Amino acid sequence: MSEARPEKRSRLSDEVEQVESIENNSTVPLFTKSDPWFDDGNIILSCGNTGFRVHQGVLALHSPVFKDMLTVGNPGGVLFEGCGVVALTDDADDVRHLLNAMYLIEYGSGRERSLEMLSSMLRMSTKYVVDRFRKQVIQRLSSMFPSTLAKYTAAVRDRRILAKLDPIAAVQLSLDCDVPSILPTALYLCIIREEKTSAVLQELCQAVYRDNVMPQSQPAYHRILFEKRLRELLDGVFEAHDRDKIWAHPVGDSESPEPVGMNNSPSCKRLRVEDESQASIWQNAYPPFSRTSSQFWLADGSIVLVCGATGFRVHKSVLALRSAVFRDIFSIDEDHGINETFDGCVVVRLSDDATDMLRLLEALYTRKYSTFSGKSEITLAVMDSLLKLSTKYFFDDLRAEMVDFLRDMFPCDRSKYDFWDSRSNVRQFNWSSFVAVEFAMTYNIPAILPAACYEAMFVGISAVFNTELRCSPEEKSIQLSDITLSTCVLFAENWRDIVEDVLDIRTLKQYPGVDMPDNCGDCGGFLPEERQAVERQYRTVPIDVFRPYPALHLKLTGLRNNAGKGPACRNCYDELENFEEHIRDQLWNQMTKACGYDDWDAVLRAVPETDLDA
């Protein structure tokens, strides 16, 4: 792969152009071009004075409503640049949110997601039956307005997040889009908020006064009025949505239907290749390929990618939008040196595995591995496919997202390493650390190498040679390269040397005041046997030294009892904790040396530029 990286272009052009139609020799403004606007798009969605030029195949892949709408054709007969113009009554910003989510992998999957954006996505995904988007948005909203006390308690710990929530908007959204699971918490937040000036709350209060629910002469009962009115609303909603079923089946427990696409609907069957005239299809000596086995064969696709015996008909502009390599390929004159075509589309034969390509297209077209909720379960085998092709073809955003997943699992920061439960985006198995080392070496992801090698020590090299590395029972095994195995072996050997150096008394003398007390006036300090027990945990590979080891204090207590001494004093245990914290810091800081880097700064300097935001 060449070292010179193609210059990245902006994700979607910021160019805005006024489009006019000529009718009766007069110019009548129709709409303003707005992103997304693809030159090879074959449908224009017009929202007021804003137009979006996109692909019918992409719309139909995500939404059965759009699919059925587009099968009718163009009844209005309005055309622009050969594309049918479909007028929508939706707000242009809402449509833009929906289209960006369809085309941009990372859209809405960052840590900061506004309730406004989520509301827009929920309205559009509900109206156009984009089930995957709706499910993801509801999952995110459920984390903002949780249905259990434990989740609510965890959510409100961050006051900054709580301050950003608009519970009144959430109540309205719950009613408009039928999301009852967020309603109780949203209503509760309306009650406890101190916002007495809210126009909505004032209107509720005035309605209560008009209904003579409470005497108007008692303004001190405003809070009670709000609560009573909202509780009545809550009861009514629960009756309408069958309260018992709501809580018996919380959102997220059942799988939503997969997006209906042009490839799997009974009304849009593909003609079998063997039923077609072979003479008309294969006009030259190129090896045949099957489109009946392909899950991505879009009728309005503008290019056919062939991997082995499987073809995928997709859109040039979608590939060019995300990949610098495909963008450069398509910039070449199509008639120059190209002989193979199929159904008027250029055929590009690739050496990639068809399964890898299918996973890439799923990521690009369906957001299968990117979610608005911030969590997406993905196997390491799928990640291998996506890393392989995103690195090869410079799908920088997709690669960055995969690297971000891995860096959550194997962080550079020790404080993040402590929070094991937060690293749950990737479905892990016994050999995940070895596969992560393989990824680091193969796809140039140095940031995950130290922590991955460290965790691989706990599995043991011998186990790898006697076991097939499978990411899941249904997926093929993964072969580790020689460089991965040698890296893990060398790390384990170097780690032992690092531990001995950090625990060496001469090294400890460089840090005055950091040691285990042995001459305390209150308790006598720690015994030599206790010091050995403390140091032994760092020399024992099966123990993860960066996480608390509860059995240690029990062992120390037993040693003191055997020696006829009482428990160590509080001050000595505090100094012991400082001593261990120092040892852990030193080991973490020097961990990088075990895999060839001087320090963590050297590791971060080796990170490719495209991964810096990961």
pLDDT of residue 542: 67
Number of alpha carbons in the 13 Å side-chain half-sphere of residue 553? 13
Residue 73 has pLDDT above 70, yes or no: no
Query: Which helix H or strand E contains 87, and what residues bound it?
Result: strand 83-88
The model's pLDDT over 128-168, given as tens digits with 9 standing for 90+, comes to: 888 888 888 888 888 788 877 767 766 665 545 555 667 77
User: Which residue would you say has higher pLDDT here, 274 or 598?
Assistant: 598
pLDDT of residue 255: 39
Which residues, listed in sequence order, are joined to residue 598 by a DSSP beta bridge? none
pLDDT of residue 328: 81
Q: What single letter denotes the amino acid at residue 161?
A: I
CA distances for 404 relative to 320, 408, 410, 422, 613, angstroms: 23, 6, 10, 13, 9
User: Which residue would you say has higher pLDDT here, 563 or 601?
Assistant: 601
What six digits make up the tokens of 215?
A: 């005497």
Taking residues 461-475, report their average pLDDT.
58
**Mean confidence (pLDDT) of the chain:** 72
pLDDT of residue 434: 87
Taking residues 22-40, report their average pLDDT.
66
Q: Token pair 């696709």 is at which residue?
A: 301
pLDDT of residue 85: 87
Which residues, listed in sequence order, are joined to residue 54 by a DSSP beta bridge? 43
Residue 188 has pLDDT above 50, yes or no: yes
Residue 494 has pLDDT above 70, yes or no: yes
Residue 11 has pLDDT above 70, yes or no: no
Contact partners, residue 249, CB within 8 Å, separation at least 6: none
Taking residues 24-32, report their average pLDDT.
52
Question: Is residue 334 a contact partner of residue 346, using CB atoms and an 8 Å limit?
Answer: yes
Output helix, strand, coil percentages for the chain, rounded to the nearest 5: 50, 10, 40
Share of the chain above pLDDT 70, in %: 63
Highest mean pLDDT among 235-239, 262-266, 556-560: 556-560
Q: What single letter denotes the amino acid at residue 277?
A: S
Asked which of 64-73, 233-242, 351-360, 430-439 is least confident by mean pLDDT, the reply is 233-242
pLDDT of residue 397: 87
Output the pTM of the full model: 0.67
